[in-house]
Amino acid sequence: MTQLMNRCYRLRRRPAGTATAEDLEFVEEPVPDLRPGQALVRTLWLSLDPSNRIWMSDTHYHLPPVPIGGVMRGLGIGQVVQSWRDDLRADDLVSGYPGWQDYVIADAGDGAFTVVPPPAPEPLSALLGPLGHTGITAYLGMTDIGRPRPGETMVVSAAAGAVGSVAGQIGKALGARVVGIAGSQRKCQHVVADLGFDACVNHRDPAWREHLDELTPDGIDVDFENVGGSIMDHVLTRLTVGGRVVLCGLIADYNGYGAPPDGRGRLDIAKTLMVKRAVMQSFLVLDHMDRFPEATTYLGGLIAENKLRYDETVVDGLEHAAEALTGMFDGANTGKLLVRVAERMDVPGEVQA
Amino acid sequence: MTQLMNRCYRLRRRPAGTATAEDLEFVEEPVPDLRPGQALVRTLWLSLDPSNRIWMSDTHYHLPPVPIGGVMRGLGIGQVVQSWRDDLRADDLVSGYPGWQDYVIADAGDGAFTVVPPPAPEPLSALLGPLGHTGITAYLGMTDIGRPRPGETMVVSAAAGAVGSVAGQIGKALGARVVGIAGSQRKCQHVVADLGFDACVNHRDPAWREHLDELTPDGIDVDFENVGGSIMDHVLTRLTVGGRVVLCGLIADYNGYGAPPDGRGRLDIAKTLMVKRAVMQSFLVLDHMDRFPEATTYLGGLIAENKLRYDETVVDGLEHAAEALTGMFDGANTGKLLVRVAERMDVPGEVQA
C-alpha cells in the first residue's frame, strides 16, 4: 500500500501587518501510522475566518497562538476514514478543528471534533455557516446582548460578511430597522436587495459618515460590531441612551492597524458608554455549547421560513487557502468563505480496530 | 413681614479644567411670592457629587447642562415651609433637587422632589448617602452588572468615596475578595481597617500598579469603576475572562484631563473587552426608581447587621459649598460629602392655601 501523504500549511513566521501567503509554508508529509485510541480524519471543508489571522499572531485570543512550525489551525468538516477510537466510526462526519491539511490524526479526548448527527444538512457546508459557529455567533450576540425591540435601529458592520449577514437578518426577523455597513457598492446592493436590510452604506465612500447619520435620524440602538477601528468609532457617536454594542469582531485591528488612517483620534469608548448608560459586551461561541441546539433550531427555522439567506464564497483546493485568507481582509468575499478540500468519499463502515 | 431672602450660587462660566469657586457667583435675591400650585422648600442638606462638575460643563450627561446664569443644580433634602400644592404639605420632608440655594419654589408636576415617607431615617443625611442615590447606585451596579461570586476578586476605585465605599462593602457581603484603590495612605488604611476591604493600594504611590498586580494574582473579575483614565486602564489589563466592568463614574475625565499625565498611551478598551469576552456597562440610578424600595431594604439590612459602615464629610454653611466641591476633586473628603444648609425648623402644619 502506498504511503498516504498529507498536504499541510505550517506557520513559517508571524505576519507583520496583513497576513500573506509567504507567512505560511505549504508542505507534503507522510501521514503517520494510526495508534490505538486514534482516528484518521480527512478534511472535506475548511472555514476561513478572521480568527485565522489572530491565531497566526503571538496573542492568546480565545485559543493559544499557533506555534511557529505548527500546522495552521482552522475550523472545518471532516470525514473519519479510519478509526481506532470507541467514539468515532469510519465514515462518520465530524466538525471541529481539522487544521489546514488533508488529513488529521484525532486522539481520543482531545476535543478537536464532534460527530455530526445524521442526517447531515444539505449542503454540508451549512455546518460552517448559518448552522455552525458563524450563525450561532450571530444568534447569541443578537439574543443575549443586542436584543433589538421592534422599531429600534440596528447597525451591522461587515454586513455582507458571514456573521454580519446573519445578524442583520435576525434583526429584521425581530422587527428592527437594520442598516448595514459594507466595503463596496456591490455588497451594499446585495445586503439590501437580497438579504432584506433596510439600507446599507459603503464605508469606502468618503461621505459614508454623513450617509449613516441621515439613515439613523433617531440614533443607533444596537451596534453589531464586526469591524472596530474608526468605523466603530463613528457608529458609537450615534448610540442612543441604553444602547447595546455587541462586540463580535474587530477585524480592522487584527492586522495590527493602529490609529485610523485618516488622522482622526480614537473615540473615548468608556466616556461614550458612560454618557449613554450603554453596554459593550464580547462573547465567545465556544463558551455556550449548551445552547447550540436552541440556536440551530432557531436558525433552521428562519431558513425554512425563507427569512435567512446565506451566501458562500467557495475556493476549490487546499492549495488556494492562503491566498483566499489574504483576500478576506481585502473584503473579496461575500458571505462565508470556504475552502473545498475534498469530496466525501465512500468509506467502508465498521472498519474498527 | 420682611421679604424672605434666598442665597444662591449661579453659574458664572463653564470651568476650564478643574472647577473653581470663581466659576460660580454667590448672590442674595428676594424669594418670589408663591403662586397657586407651588410650594416653598427650604434646603436642609446638599449632596456634593462628581456630577456637579459635569452639569457645569456644556455636556448633556444624563441631565442638560446648567445654563450660564442659572442656579447650580444639586441633589439634597428639603423641608416644605409653605405649600399651595395638593401633593405637598407644610413640614413635609422632601428629597430631590433643591439646587445650591436656601429656598426653592417647587412647581406641581416638575418632578424635582419626592416626599420622604415618615419616619425619616436618623440621621436624615443618610438619605443622601447609603439610603439615597449614592447607596442605590452601588447596589444596582453590584447586583445587576458586577455580580461577584464568592471567592472572586473585585477592585473598587475611589474606594473611600461615597459610592465606592458602599460598593466594596456589598462585595464583601457577597463573598468577594475586595481590593480598593484610593488616593492616600490614610484612606487606604481606613477602607481596610474600618470598612473591611481585604486590601487597598494608594494610586499616588509610583509602584501602585505593581502592588495591585501582587494583590490580584488571579486577575480581576469585577472592576467597580469610579475613576477612569490611566487608573482604569491598568485595572483593565488584569481583567479575567468573563470579567465585568461596572462603569459607575469617570471622575478623572470630568475636569477635562486628556491623556494620562505619565505619557502612557490609553488602553484599547474594545480590544481588551474582546479578548476577555468581557462586559463594560454604565447605568443611571434614575432609570431604576422602581427598584429603590428593594435597594433601600437591602442596604438598610446591611446597616442593621453592621456590614455597612458609611462616612460623611460635613461642610457647614451654604457659603462653603463651592470650595468644598473643588476639594472633592483633590480627594479631600472621605465618604459622602455634604453641605449642611439649615436645621429642620418648626413649621406649623396644615398651612394650606
Q: What ipTM did this prediction achieve?
A: 0.81
pLDDT in tens, B27-56: 999 999 999 999 999 999 999 998 899 999
Query: Which chain A residues touch B62 with a CB distance below 8 Å?
Result: 275, 277
A250 vs B269: CB contact, 8 Å cut-off? Answer: no
Task: Indicate whether B352 pLDDT > 50.
Answer: no
Cell (9 digits) for A134: 458563524
Report the mean per-residue pLDDT for chain B. 91
Contact B5, B31 (CB under 8 A): yes
B281 vs A283: CB contact, 8 Å cut-off? Answer: no
pLDDT in tens, B99-144: 999 999 999 888 889 898 888 888 899 999 999 989 999 999 999 9
Interface probe for B, chosen from A275, A280, A286, A288 (most Cβ of B below 10 Å), is A280
**In the structure, how many helices (H) and strands (E) does chain B have?**
10, 15
Asked if A275 has any chain B CB less than 8 Å from its own CB, the reply is: yes
Measured between alpha carbons, how far is A6 from A257 in angstroms, rounded to an integer? Answer: 35
Report the predicted TM-score, pTM, of the whole model to 2 decimal places.
Answer: 0.83
Return the pLDDT at B351: 47
Asked if A239 has any chain B CB less than 8 Å from its own CB, the reply is: no
Measured between alpha carbons, how far is B329 from B337 in angstroms, rounded to an integer? Answer: 11
How would DSSP label each residue in A83-149? E--SS--TT-EEEE---SBSEEEEETTS--EEEPPSSPPSSGGGGGTTTSHHHHHHHHIIIIII-PP
Return the pLDDT at A353: 43
B266 vs A266: CB contact, 8 Å cut-off? Answer: yes
Return the pLDDT at A266: 79
A281 vs B279: CB contact, 8 Å cut-off? Answer: yes
Asked if B58 has any chain A CB less than 8 Å from its own CB, the reply is: no
Of A279, A282, A284, the CB nearest to B281: A279
Contact A46, A95 (CB under 8 A): no
B274 vs A281: CB contact, 8 Å cut-off? Answer: no
Cis peptide before B67 (omega within 30 of 0): no
Pairing state between β A177-182 and A199-202: parallel
What domains appear along chain B, each with residue ranges and CATH number? 5-125+311-340 (3.90.180.10), 133-304 (3.40.50.720)
Measured between alpha carbons, how far is B224 from B222 in angstroms, rounded to an integer? Answer: 6
Of A60, A275, A282, the CB nearest to B277: A282
Q: Looking at CA atoms only, how far is residue A179 from chain B in angstroms?
A: 22
Main-chain dihedrals φ then ψ at residue B168, nearest 5 degrees: -65, -40
* Average pLDDT for B62-89: 94
Q: Give buried/exposed letters for B82-91 (b at 16+ CB in 10 A, else e).
A: bbbbeebbbb
Q: Which residues contact B225 (CB under 8 A, 6 or more apart)?
A: A270, B157, B232, B235, B245, B246, B247, B248, B249, B250
Pairing state between β B336-340 and B38-48: antiparallel
Per-residue pLDDT tens, chain A, 353 aa: give them: 578 999 999 999 999 888 899 999 999 999 999 999 999 999 999 999 988 999 999 988 778 999 999 999 999 999 999 999 999 999 999 999 999 999 999 998 888 898 988 888 888 999 999 999 999 999 999 999 999 999 999 999 999 998 999 999 999 999 999 999 999 999 999 999 999 999 999 999 999 999 999 999 999 999 999 999 999 999 999 999 999 999 999 987 765 544 555 556 778 999 999 989 999 999 999 899 899 889 999 999 999 899 999 989 999 999 999 999 988 877 777 778 999 999 998 887 554 44
pLDDT in tens, A151-208: 999 999 999 998 999 999 999 999 999 999 999 999 999 999 999 999 999 999 999 9
Q: Between these two residues, A336 and B340, which has the higher pLDDT value?
A: B340
| Contact pairs from chain A to chain B, CB under 8 Å | 84
Among A residues 207-226, those touching chain B with beta carbons less than 8 Å apart: 225
Measured between alpha carbons, how far is A180 from A199 in angstroms, rounded to an integer? Answer: 6
